[in-house]
Structure 1
Amino acid sequence: MLCLFDLDGTLIDSEEGIVACVRHAFDRLGVAAPAELRHWIGPPLRHSFAPFLDHDHERVEAAVEYYHERFHTLGWREHSVYPDIEETIIRLKAAGHELAVVTSKPERHARPIVENLPFGKAFSRLYGPDPLSPHSEKATMIAAAIADFGAAREYTAMIGDRHFDIDGAVANGIRGVGVLWGFGDRAELEKAGAHALAKQPLDLVGMLAA
């Protein structure tokens, strides 16, 4: 089976780095940052910044650049791997599954993270959107992965913690497996149409064996 993994909230807990970079962007713009920033993890940055910057295109673009400014030097290191994720990935790879990462992070930011994970070599490919795109493009990236691997849709699954991951799976007619240890919740994932929900990482080994 081709198993496509989201990054933030699925493989790694990246809240510390993302929140710090969002605050940095607001500070550089001289704008007070929202008190609650956890829900910023997952959606495209431009989508999240726009309402707080009066949908001013130039300020939104500046905010994204300021975010990337800090992320490039510090933010990409500020994360932790969820418990049992490493064992889960190792077991899936040993079982013969093809593994890839499909993330809303630009590839230039996601690649050093994945390459520095102790299990990073288990992933054959990495898909991230164009950094200038206002969209996460999960559906497009999933379609590209299916084509690159020559995978049958009935033997492909997208695994992630937010509705964006499940939306992308549904759009491509593949299995969408939601995970409950990330930044989304059961209601969000079920509403999006998840085929199954994993309470803990090792649950995925059995779910993806079928």
Structure 2
Amino acid sequence: MKDYRYILFDLDGTITDSIDGITNSIIYALKKYDIEIVDRNELQKFIGPPLVSSFKNFCGFSEEDANEALRYFREYYSTKGIFESSVYKGIEELLTRLKSENKTLIVATSKPEAYARRILEDLEMDKYFSYIAGSKFDGTRIEKSDVIAYAMKSCGITDLSLVLMVGDRKQDIMGAKKTGIDSVGVLFGYGDRKELENAGATYIVETVGDLQDLLVAK
């Protein structure tokens, strides 16, 4: 594998297991429309894509209703859901190893940047990252390619051959391709192998240990 200097990480499903906080927030929002969720596993598909798109695609909401549902989602998420997540086992050790090899680590998430910073600070994980890039609350910079481009510009990165994106959903892989960088799809998050292969991941790994074997110098 190439010697990448800059490694961008998605947040949900890559650094953190955040399914409880996100699904609890979605359930809270959907109750406002008298939609009851019997199996919360159905909501895993919401994790990764921008939420307005998910409310439209999976619930048939209009643009207006989808934006209103997002506001309801944030009512719960901003006070409770944001803290209902944990770091995947082995991730902190991986980040420590990468930092010791002088890699520049960056978060690139479609989650609002303010939320991402708050989550990583609460989990005491922000210390590993040179920059935390995310979307804006006004609905802009939500596409993963826009977040990646913003992260690279903010960090003064110009040589795309030195950059690698790590994520668990097709949006991470497609965003990397659109911005001209390589990618790693991880299977310990919320996507599956077929999704990541179809999106064109440069590499695919199953576990955090496999990711470390791929990224850390032997």
Same fold (TM over 0.5): yes
What count of residue pairs does the alignment treat as equivalent? 210
User: Is residue 2:71 matched to residue 1:62?
Assistant: no
Is the alpha carbon distance of 1:144 and 1:52 closer, same or farther for their aligned partners in structure 2, counting shifts above 3 Å? closer
In the TM superposition, what whole-angstrom CA distance separates every residue of 1:9-62 from its partner, at most 9, and x where no partner exists?
000111111110000001123233474111111111111111455432322221
> Equivalents in 1 of 2:57, 2:77: separation in Å?
22
Q: Describe the SS at the equivalent of 2:105.
A: strand
After the TM superposition, which parts of structure 1 deviate over 6 Å for at least 4 consecutive aligned residues? none
1:113 Cα deviation from its structure 2 partner: 0.5
> Equivalents in 2 of 1:82, 1:70: separation in Å?
23
Residue range with higher mean Cα deviation, 199-208 or 69-78: 199-208
User: Is residue 2:184 matched to residue 1:177?
Assistant: yes
Q: Describe the SS at the equivalent of 1:177.
A: strand
In the TM superposition, what whole-angstrom CA distance separates every residue of 1:111-165 from its partner, at most 9, and x where no partner exists?
1101122332111111111223277311111112222223211110000000100
Assess if the C-alpha contact under 8 Å between 1:3 and 1:157 holds in 2: yes
In structure 2, the residue matched to 1:153 is: 160
In structure 2, the residue matched to 1:126 is: 132
In structure 2, the residue matched to 1:30 is: 34
> Equivalents in 1 of 2:74, 2:61: separation in Å?
19
Assess if the C-alpha contact under 8 Å between 2:134 and 2:141 holds in 1: no
> Equivalents in 2 of 1:208, 1:148: separation in Å?
23
Q: Describe the SS at the equivalent of 2:111.
A: coil
In structure 2, the residue matched to 1:168 is: 175
**In the TM superposition, what are the counterparts of 1:88-107 in structure 2 within 5 Å?**
88-107=94-113
> Equivalents in 2 of 1:209, 1:32: separation in Å?
45
What is the one-letter code of the residue matched to 1:9? G
> Equivalents in 1 of 2:82, 2:211: separation in Å?
26
1:180 Cα deviation from its structure 2 partner: 0.9
In structure 2, the residue matched to 1:71 is: 77
Is the alpha carbon distance of 1:150 and 1:209 closer, same or farther for their aligned partners in structure 2, counting shifts above 3 Å? farther
Structure 1, unaligned stretches of length 5 or more?
A: none
1:18 to 9, 15, 22: 22
Q: TM-score, normalised by structure 2?
A: 0.89
Over the matched positions of the two proteins, sequence identity in percent amounts to 42
